[in-house]
Amino acid sequence: MSTPFIQCRELTRTYTRGTERITPLDKLDLDIDRGQFVALMGPSGSGKTTLLNLLAGIDSPTEGELLIGDTPVHSLSRGRLAAWRADHVGYIFQLYNLVPVLNAYENVELPLLLQSITRQERHRRVSNAMEAVGITDRHKHYPRQLSGGQEQRVAIARAIVTEPDLLLCDEPTGDLDRETATSIMDLLQRLNRDEGRTIVMVTHDPATTRWADTLLHLEKGRLLEHEEVTT
Amino acid sequence: MSRLLRLIPVVFRTIRRSPIRSGLTIMGIAMAMYLFTGVESMRNGVRDATEAGAGDSMLVVYRENRYCPFTSRLPEWYVDRIERIEGVKAAVPMQILVSNCRASLDVVTFRGVPGDSLGASLSPGTEIVAGSINDWTKRGDAAIVGESLAARRGIRVGDRFNAAGVAVYVAGILESSEMQDRNSAWVHLPFLQEALRRGGTGGFVTQFNVVVDDPARMDEIALSIDEAFAHDERPTATRPEKAFIGRAARDIVGIANFAGILGWGALVAVFALIANAIMLAMRDRIRDHAIMQTLGWTGPLIGWMVLVEGAMLGLFGGILGAFGAWLTIQYGRFAMTMEGASIEISTSAWTAIIGTGLALALGILAGVAPALRLSRRSIASSFGAV
- With vertex at residue B28, the alpha carbon angle to CA B333 and CA B252, rounded to the nearest 5 degrees, is 35
C-alpha R_g of chain A:
17
Mean pLDDT of all residues in B113-130: 84
Residue B170 pLDDT more than 50?
yes
Closest alpha carbon within chain A to B377: A78
Which of A79, A111, A116 is facing B298, going by the closest CB pair? A79
Contact B10 A58 (CB under 8 A): no
pLDDT of residue A229: 64
Contact A99 B291 (CB under 8 A): yes
pLDDT of residue B200: 45
Separation between Cα atoms, residue B384 and residue B386, nearest integer Å: 6
Q: How far is CA B203 from CA B68, B92, B191, B196, in A?
A: 18, 14, 12, 11
Which of B2, B7, B296 is facing A116, going by the closest CB pair? B2
Q: Kindly report, residue by residue over B302-344, the tens digit of the pLDDT.
A: 999 999 999 999 999 999 999 999 999 988 888 887 777 778 8
Instruction: Indicate the pLDDT class of residue A132, thresholds 50, 70 and 90.
Output: confident
ipTM: 0.86
- Which residues 163-182 in chain A show a CB within 8 A of chain B? none
Q: Kindly report, residue by residue over B340-368, the tens digit of the pLDDT.
A: 777 888 788 899 999 999 999 999 999 99
Question: Residues of chain B with pLDDT > 90: what percent?
Answer: 32
Separation between Cα atoms, residue B118 and residue B144, nearest integer Å: 10
Closest alpha carbon within chain A to B379: A58
Q: How far is CA A89 from CA A37, A200, B374, in A?
A: 15, 11, 22
* Contact residues on chain A for B379, CB-CB shorter than 8 A: 58-59
Separation between Cα atoms, residue B13 and residue B150, nearest integer Å: 46
pLDDT of residue A2: 76
Q: Which of B168-177, B190-199, B209-218, B258-267 has the lowest mean pLDDT?
A: B190-199
* Contact residues on chain A for B294, CB-CB shorter than 8 A: 56, 58, 85, 91
Contact A82 B297 (CB under 8 A): yes
pLDDT of residue A227: 66
Average pLDDT of the residues of chain B: 86
pLDDT of residue B49: 82
Instruction: Indicate the pLDDT class of residue B197, thresholds 50, 70 and 90.
Output: low
Separation between Cα atoms, residue A51 and residue A34, nearest integer Å: 17
**Best of A95, A113, A144, A163 to mutate (most B CBs within 10 Å, chain B):** A113
Contact B296 A101 (CB under 8 A): no
Q: Does pTM top 0.90 for this prediction?
A: no
- Asked if residue B27 lies in contact with residue B269, where contact means CB atoms within 8 angstroms, the answer is no
Mean pLDDT of all residues in A9-32: 90
Which of A93, A102, A158 is facing B13, going by the closest CB pair? A102
